[in-house]
């Protein structure tokens, strides 16, 4: 895609600090890291979000994400990781090329992921029926 920053990184038009790369997936350091070692994992081909990415490519992104999480745990001594993925503007996606954030967590980091304002809609049977209807 012409103006996509991640496509430009894949093409080498924008430099990156690559941690892993194969024919389908690239993992590199986020230049606006939330914590030390924050990695982005992307498919090399442009897919806007979870709704567009083919399952076989998504599988590869997830496998590389796990590999990156293990590297962060083993080599940077991360005590945990957050895997974060946003899909569509309403979900706060800001780069419209599918990507997974691998955010290493350390006991002294200040990052808080807070789910505020939970829904009052708790009619679980109706919700389940609506999700599963064809």
Given 38, 97, 99, 101, which residue is catalytic? Answer: 99
pLDDT at 1 over 80: no
**pLDDT, tens digit (0-9, with 9 covering 90-100), for 54-97:** 999 999 999 999 999 999 999 999 999 999 999 999 999 999 99
Residue span of the structural domain in which 106 resides: 5-132
* Number of structural domains in the chain: 1
84 strand-pairing partners: 101
Q: Give whole-number Cα distances, 77 to 31, 33, 36, 70, 71, in Å.
A: 20, 17, 10, 10, 9
Query: What does pTM read for this prediction?
Result: 0.93
5 closest CA partner among 24, 23, 32: 32
Asked if 38 is an active-site residue, the reply is: no
pLDDT number for residue 134:
67
CATH number, domain with residue 86: 3.30.428.10
**pLDDT, tens digit (0-9, with 9 covering 90-100), for 103-123:** 999 999 989 988 888 888 888
Q: Which residue has the tokens 């990781």?
A: 81
- Per DSSP bridges, beta strands 18-21 and 100-105 are unpaired
């Amino acid at each position: 895609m012409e103006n996509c920053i991640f496509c430009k990184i894949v093409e080498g038009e924008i430099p990156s600090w690559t941690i892993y790369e194969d024919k389908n997936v690239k993992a590199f350091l986020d230049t606006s890291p939330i914590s030390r070692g924050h990695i982005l994992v992307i498919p090399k081909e442009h897919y806007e979000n979870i709704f567009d990415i083919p399952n076989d490519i998504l599988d590869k992104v997830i496998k590389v994400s796990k590999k990156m999480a293990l590297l962060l745990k083993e080599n940077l001594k991360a005590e945990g990781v957050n895997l974060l993925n946003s899909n569509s503007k309403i979900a706060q996606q800001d780069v419209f090329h599918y990507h997974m954030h691998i955010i290493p967590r350390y006991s002294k980091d200040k990052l808080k992921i807070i789910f505020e304002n939970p829904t009052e809609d708790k009619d679980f049977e109706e919700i389940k029926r609506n999700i599963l209807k064809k």
